[in-house]
Structure 1
Amino acid sequence: MQYSNLIWRNGQPYNEMFDDIYCSADRDEDISGENEFDHVFFRNNDLPQRWQGRDSFVIAELGLGSGLNCLLTLRQWLKHCAACGEDRTLHYIAIEKYPLSPQAITDLISGYPELQQLCEEFVENYPPAVATTHTRHLFDNRVVIHFRFLDACEALRAESLKVDAWYFDGFSPAKNEAMWSHELFLQVARNSHDETTCSTYTAAGFVRRSLQDVGFKMSKVRGYGKKREMLKGRFCGLQEEGLKYGDKPWFKAATGVAVDKGRMTGKRISVIGAGIAGLSLAYAMVKRGWDVTIIDRHGAVAKEASANPAAVVYPRLSADNGVDTKFYTSAFCYSVYMLAVLQKKYWQQFWFTGGLLQSMEREKLSAIIEKNQFNEDYVCLDERQLVGSGLSDFMDGEESEVFANYRNAGVVLPVVLCTALKELCGEKLSMLHSDVSEVTNNDDRWQCMDGARLIDESDVLVVANGTGINSIGLQSVFPVGGVRGQVAILKASDKSKEISQTINSGKYITPAIDDRHYTGATYARNNTSLEVDPDDTEMLLRSVQQRFPDVFHAEDISASWVGIRSMSGDRVPIVGAVPDTAFFSKEYADICHGRVTKCYPAARHLEGLYVSAAHGSRGFTSSFLSAEIIAAQINNEPPPVSKDVLDYLSPSRFIVNHLKRG
């Protein structure tokens, strides 16, 4: 994916591909883009009246384009929040297959001086041109923009976004027919509810009929400018059949597992585990106004796997597992974004950019890049020879290697980051120093016990204690084990400081950080020893010496570190609501027979209980997005990833697979 080109013609902004205008650059009241927005999208969706009494509201725009409609909506929403004296949250789902660049949007909005401050924050948080969902929290979480840089049907298919108001603002039906198709409107209907409204500038008969066919009651009203008429509508419901085998009913409730606020005693949540998984979740919930208690057996942050002295942040690309690539693409983009945001707020540096080179087979890498349409800013095929000093030259020939070059990858110092997350949560976060031997539910409240002693209880509990997930008496037993990893720390020299990127060829070596290089990590299952193994240290040194001869020597080893990373049986993180195993075992007992015509009930989960675990060696890539997934589920928000990714990560997948095997 590349940013779309903007063309100016007769003072008006046009899209290069569709040869259609984005919005009028004329400030004349009769034809201005601002007044068109106010008439077509704002007032004909009965806004701002419908915002009254709502803690949150969801708007989806098909065709983000210039961003003008979004920015004008944000302006009105922030005025609304100021008038009611409360911090409420607008979720704006911006769907755009051909996004403009941040500079192009800046140029387009420059004609609206009163929007400049809004535009600056919008552009500062604007995502890279990567085809995925990018979630951004703006204006102290009063606005959350869900950028879905995807084909519109793909962005909505199988989702349950519960949109309150739709802006249909794609290029004209004559220019971009796909944005007005029956298939797309069917997906729109499936993401709507009984109070959902929609509006669009067009009055085309086939658009009106298609929307009526999927359950909208449509009417023609006065148009704007030169258009005599336009369309507005209200959703009246879509006749849906029962859930069949192909609908995966066992995952159907994955986006509907919000906590019942009616039974809650306050916005308070408990988290077991003070590593990166637990602290990123705490930060996500504090951002939403919750009070968080973290229970940790060490009573301090980053004392187990998250104590790794340096972690590499980069994605995992698969040639044959598209969902895995989709998750790690979203996770990497979000992690890089969050690390930059957090670094600006904290005094001590923990995030070191510079990129990463990962050795990979040419055919595999080329196929991945082509299949996913990754641009060079995300990953590119890099052919070079790395010579002794670490200086690299682009070369052709048998001696050169092929690397995946991730220009935005980097190295994070985990202990400093975890400390920053704790401090940035402020008084909203408290820590309890205790073991948790058992988790029980009493009167719809989750109780954490240490033997017979009640440590803590809350309406919502997230388990993020790594390899300890199966030691607290949960109803579900997850296939999680420990993988031992050892890291060596090397003193830097003038020669080694010429290494400017992290190099990963099975084992990684980082650039010098505070005169130290970090290399690792070993990978050993069924080994829980936390003692440094001299043989592992020697092996890591040999690996570095093979890559960089005459640069590192035995006397350069200054320290080693050992940790046990948690990993699931399928090497995929476990993220989301915990299933009610008794319900699953009863209602889905026969799914091993594949009865495609039988109707099944939607899944049931243990209300208020969630898991974020088994992040393996990429925990600092996956934990931030995983925290957003769980926070969105708890708060009944649009999810930050697609439905197939939610299913892929779901804690329910293990019992479902067991039942399928029979």
Structure 2
Amino acid sequence: MTDPLIPAVLAFRDNGTPYSPLYNDIYHSAVGSLEQAQYVFLRGNALPGRWQGRRVFTVLETGFGMGINFLMTWAAWRADPERCARLHFVSTEKHPFTQADLRSVCAKTIPDPEIASLAAMLADAWPMLVPGSHRLEFDGGQVTLTLIFGDAAATLPVLRLRADAFYLDGFAPARNPDIWSPAIFKSLARLAGEEATFSTYSSAGEIKRALLQNGFVYQKIDGFGWKRAMLAGHFSPRWRVRRYEPPAPLAVDERHAIVIGTGLAGCAAIERLTARGWRVTSLERHAAVARGASGNPAGVFHPLISRDDSVASRITRAGFLYALRRWEALERLDGGKRLRSDAGLLQIASDDAEAHAIREAIERFGYPSGYVHAVDAGEAQRLAGTPLARGGSFFPHGGWVDPAALCASQCAAAGDLLTRRFDAEVGRLERIDNQWSVFDTAGQLLGRAPVVIVASAHEAARLASLRYAPTRSIRGQLSLLPPGSVAPLALPVIGDGYAVPLADGVTLTGATYELDDPDATLRPDGHRENIERVIAMLPGFQRNLDSAHIANLDGRVAFRCVTSDRMPMIGQLADETAAARDAQRLRGAWPLDLTRSEGLYGAFAYGSRGLVWATLGAELLASQIEGEPWPLTQDLAEDIDPARFLIRALRQGTVS
């Protein structure tokens, strides 16, 4: 179970140096925070020289604190004309500052105007204080900060990245021994790239021993300020210290990808790849984008709250927060035009027991009110503007989006790097000469590229020839209630059903849930079911809806693709033929043991959570392709790995 976050307490020593009352230690030397970062961490890792001429360079820090090391690294990158194309900075923090305290401490302690300006940008982008990964982008995505809020002892072992430099900057070993434990250094060795460097202000004997035991070579050099000595060195193991190598970029002759499908999954992948300079060809069997389930008039988005902070809750939380940041960036590109509603979203509990359980979960995890807060029936009625059956949860940043508009915005952001082909019915894929060839149903070549992303929902498993991908189809019928037919709503309300007030006065309700039902025609019974579920949540909802009105309602039928565990399929696809050949050896396999289909990736089976999963899923795919730090921890990525069902079959001995 995820532990709740406990924010840092902002305090100052008599000399004005910020310190932590929890650890009774200072955040930086009283001699100067900027000078310390420059001397100990940039100079100690031979930066900026080591990132010059590199496409991607990754720094991993233990202990984000005030963010001074990140700000100084960012400033050095900006000032370097030979800088790497993309700088990744990954940092863990068990006790992050609140946004207000971060602004305050930076304003009081950063004298340099340039660094203060960067600190203001960091504070503006500062994430909500909820556990997990938070990916922030600066300078058009060329500088990426991935913050991991949680205990480093728990989070470092599940990071997936290749570090080029380590900033070891926790509180002093005597004050915070946990962040200098042997297990921490073992995790660092697992993540180190070839010749990765490290530096730390500390020169304690236990740190030297832990470094040597895990394959690092160190030098003792002059310390900063009043410190007599510090350590710097590099990763150079004399023996094998890890089972798996850290991720590397896919070796390609040309940065060109084919994306099959232009719904939420496909368009998000297009935007994330082209943002990194990839050329993308999209193939769509319809005449326009977002014609399948992504073509619904609106879709709701919100986090998922559970008493045990389940895998689905953690992935949805990360996806929700990352999607909000990416949508804001798209809105800025489009002159500030909003893609989504902004009044929040209300989730009504199905009964009093559920309302109590959700309230307990919100209190247990200490979620900030800007993320979610429990509301009683009276407060819920005030928010919705109509009587409600009971209270529930309010998500201030939840709401609804027009999926087709979002897809169009993502494709527009790709600009000239995107080539679109419509009415292209893909029949099969074939690997030829280190590239994937994509053929239509008549056998004609549609395109060739070293990378293919299959984002075509129900067709994805067939196109990728996956036997171990148990997807099914869910028929969902939506109902569109004309203006004046029902009581007006101030915001979307969801529960056992949902009601979404659209901009034109129409209210969207839905959706039915019918397994493996291929009928695409509207049914009066489906409209009636949708309305009855909404009335159970909103007793005053029904106004002018008799049987005649219901029979003539407009609506839409769409088919959602789901897996048997209701989690999406996102990641590089496994080579099932190779797995079958080595089935006996792979009986106890882990995902990293599998041979993967080179250059072939999947993004499908998003069910009803495409809006909160698609953008994060696309960032995960792009990170895997580019060899960048993953935006999700490895354990969560494995829970949505398309190979997870193959792994289960191998362990059960049913792969032949």
Same fold (TM over 0.5): yes
- 1:391 aligned to 2:385? yes
Cα-to-partner distance string for 1:249-295 (whole Å, 9 max, x where unaligned): xxx68x7474213xx2x211110001010000000001101111110
Rounded to whole Å, the distance in 1 between the matches of 2:373 and 2:592 is 45
Q: CA deviation at 1:553?
A: 2.5
* Structure 2 counterpart of 1:443, from 433, 452, 455: 433
Deviations 1:489-548 (A, max 9, x none): 224459844x33322121011245332222111111121222111111122223333413
2:225 matched residue in structure 1: 225
The aligned counterpart of 1:584 is: 579
Partner of 1:407: 396
Query: What is the identity, as a one-letter code, of the residue corresponding to 2:10?
Result: L
- Deviation string, structure 1 residues 444-487 (Cα, Å, up to 9, x no partner): 21111112210111110000001111343625452112111111
Q: What secondary structure is seen at the aligned counterpart in 2 of 1:357?
A: strand
Contact 1:281 1:627 in 2 (8 A): yes
1:488 matched to which residue of 2?
479
- Structure 2 Cα separation of the partners of residues 124 and 256 of structure 1: 31
Could you tell me which amino acid in structure 1 is paired with residue 463 of structure 2? I
Query: How many angstroms does 1:302 deviate by?
Result: 0.6
TM-score if structure 2 supplies the norm length? 0.90
1:622 paired to 2:613: yes
Distance 1:19 1:601, change over 3 A: closer
**Paired position in structure 2 for 1:246:** none
Which residue does the alignment assign to 1:544?
534
Taking structure 1 as reference, are residues 570 and 389 closer, same or farther at Cα in structure 2, changes over 3 Å only?
closer
CA distance in 2, matches of 1:660, 1:203: 46
- Judged with a 3 Å threshold, the aligned counterparts in structure 2 of structure 1 residues 204 and 279 are, in CA distance, closer, same or farther, namely same
RMSD: 2.6
Contact preservation (8 Å) 1:134, 1:148: yes
Q: Which residue of 2 aligns with 1:167?
A: 167
Once the 2 structures are TM-superposed, how far is the Cα of residue 329 of structure 1 from its aligned partner? 1.5
* 3-state SS, counterpart of residue 401 of structure 1: coil
Secondary structure of the 2:224 match is coil
* Aligned residue number for residue 214 of structure 1: 214
CA 1:418–1:103 in 2, change beyond 3 Å: closer, same or farther? Answer: same
User: What is the distance in 2 between the residues matched to 1:34 and 1:437?
Assistant: 58
1:389 touches 1:548 (CA, 8 Å); kept in 2?
no
Note if 1:464 corresponds to 2:455.
Answer: yes
1:186 and 1:590 map into 2 onto residues whose CA distance is 27
The letter of the residue matching 1:284 is R
Q: 1:284 to 1:239 in 2, by over 3 A?
A: same
- How big is the shift at 1:218? 1.9
With the length of structure 1 as denominator, give the TM-score of the two structures. 0.89
Percent identical: 29
Distance change in 2, residues 1:238/1:565 (3 Å): farther
Q: CA deviation at 1:183?
A: 1.4
Q: What's 1:9 paired with?
A: 13
**Range with greater deviation from structure 2 (120-129 or 424-433):** 120-129
Q: How does 1:296-375 map to 2 (within 5 A)?
A: 296-319=284-307, 322-347=310-335, 348-360=337-349, 361-362=354-355, 364-366=357-359, 368-369=361-362, 372-375=365-368
What's the counterpart of residue 560 of structure 1? 555
Give secondary structure in 2 for the equivalent of 1:437.
strand
Partner residue in 1 for 2:417: 428
Q: Deviations over 1:86-140 (max 9, x none)?
A: 7601110021111112332233333331223322332232221111111122112
The yes-or-no answer on 1:605 pairing with 2:605 is: no
8 Å contact 2:128–2:368 — kept in the other structure? no
Q: 1: distance between equivalents of 2:511 and 2:375?
A: 23
SS across alignment from 1:301: coil
> Is this contact kept in 2: 1:390–1:548, CA < 8 A?
no
Q: What CA distance in whole angstroms lies between the structure 2 residues aligned with 1:406 and 1:219?
A: 51
Specify the code of the residue in structure 2 equivalent to 1:376: S
Q: Which runs of 5+ in 2 are unaligned?
A: none
Structure 1 position 277 matched with structure 2 position 282: no
Unaligned runs of 5+ in 1: 244-251, 394-398
Q: Report what 1:133 is aligned to.
A: 133
Moved more, 6-15 or 188-197: 6-15
Matches within 5 A, 1:111-150: 111=110, 112-150=112-150
Deviates more, 1:276-285 or 1:55-64: 55-64
- C-alpha deviation, 1:614, in angstroms: 0.1
Q: Distance in 1 between the 2:382 and 2:630 partners?
A: 47
Separation in 1 of the partners of 2:208 and 2:85?
33
Contact in 2 for aligned 1:161/1:639 (Cα 8 Å): yes
Q: Structure 2 counterpart of 1:428, which letter?
A: L
* Alpha-carbon separation, structure 2, partners of 1:343 and 1:601: 38
CA 1:298–1:493: 2 relative to 1, 3 Å: same
Residue aligned with 2:377, SS: strand
Any conservation in 2 of the 1:387–1:548 contact (CA below 8 Å)?
no
The separation in 2 between residues aligned to 1:482 and 1:21, in whole angstroms, is 56
What is the total number of aligned residue pairs between the two structures? 632
**Mean CA deviation greater in 403-412 or 302-311:** 403-412
Work out the CA distance in 2 between the residues paired with 1:257 and 1:573.
Answer: 24
- Determine the C-alpha separation between the residues in 2 that align with 1:301 and 1:66: 43
The 8 Å contact of residues 153 and 184 in structure 2, kept in 1 or not, is answered as yes
